[in-house]
Chain A
Amino acid sequence: NAGVMQNPRHLVRRRGQEARLRCSPMKGHSHVYWYRQLPEEGLKFMVYLQKENIIDESGMPKERFSAEFPKEGPSILRIQQVVRGDSAAYFCASSQNPQGAFGKFGNTIYFGEGSWLTVV
């Protein structure tokens, strides 16, 4: 059973280009989360999606960033007109059920290996 798959693992973009990061959740998981890890900092929540729905995007920058999780295919985090400050590791996570993720049944959130974006 494959884990959370992210690609690309490393991406280099010039300022002003677009970056697209993809995330395939674990099989059977319909809840996806994106986190960003800036250098020397912890992970910061960006967005929480279910299939075809954005549930909570309160952690997303207001401009240039968008996320989707279509009915078919991976979740996509899109960053338009990248700037140097967007350089970071972007982690995707998935869960089967957010209630069950932290409840007595022992499900949990699983993280991918991350996508490292470098803006030059």
Chain B
Amino acid sequence: GDSVTQMEGPVTLSEEAFLTINCTYTATGYPSLFWYVQYPGEGLQLLLKATKADDKGSNKGFEATYRKETTSFHLEKGSVQVSDSAVYFCALTTNRGSTLGRLYFGRGTQLTVWP
């Protein structure tokens, strides 16, 4: 079935360090891929998305490229800030009739950035 496997955390970095959070997926057809961020005590916010192969989603300095050949959607940021501390979720939807609108989430990666 459709699923997302996400790099386990927690990840602890110093401010201005480079961030990579790995995400790979299994899906039938052509999924759309997402990264969501959850700040402490809050709901999920869409960080970025990509809807077809080789698309690059970007937002707030974060980037992720949809790689169909490796079934991956790794999240990267060149220089993290303390305010980036949160839980990051990789997700997909296949948008097929029977699962329309359903998102499949990874388990989340806790990121802590120290000043």
**Which residues from chain B contact A111 at a C-beta distance below 8 Å?**
36, 43-45
A33 with B101: CB separation less than 8 A: yes
B103 at the interface (CB under 8 A from A): yes
CB distance from A89 to the nearest CB of B (A): 9
Assuming A31-B101, A44-B105, A45-B104, is B93 touching A102 (CB within 8 A)? yes
Binds B, one of A35-43, A70-78, A80-88: A35-43
Interface string of B1-20 (1 = CB under 8 A from A): 00010100000000000000
Enumerate A27-81 residues with CB–CB distance to B below 8 Å.
31, 33, 35, 40-45, 48, 55-56, 59
CA–CA, A42 to B44, complex, Å?
11
Interface string of B73-115 (1 = CB under 8 A from A): 0000000000000000100010100111111111110000000
Interface size class of A (residues with CB under 8 A): 20 to 34
B43 with A4: CB separation less than 8 A: yes
The chain B residue with its CB closest to the CB of A95 is B101
A42 with B101: CB separation less than 8 A: no
**Which residues from chain B contact A48 at a C-beta distance below 8 Å?**
100-102
CB distance from B57 to the nearest CB of A (A): 12
Q: A42-B108, A55-B100, A110-B46 are in contact. List 15 more A-B contacts (CB 8 A).
A: A4-B43, A33-B101, A42-B6, A43-B103, A44-B105, A45-B104, A48-B101, A56-B98, A91-B44, A95-B101, A101-B101, A102-B51, A102-B93, A104-B51, A108-B49
A25 at the interface (CB under 8 A from B): no
**Which residues from chain A contact B4 at a C-beta distance below 8 Å?**
42
CA–CA, A91 to B87, complex, Å?
15
- The residues of A with any CB-CB pair to B shorter than 8 Å are 4, 6, 31, 33, 35, 40-45, 48, 55-56, 59, 91, 93, 95, 98-99, 101-104, 108-114
B32 at the interface (CB under 8 A from A): yes
The listed residue (A6, A31, A42, A108) touching B106 by CB distance below 8 A is: A42
A112 with B101: CB separation less than 8 A: no
**Which residues from chain B contact A99 at a C-beta distance below 8 Å?**
95, 100
CB distance from A7 to the nearest CB of B (A): 13
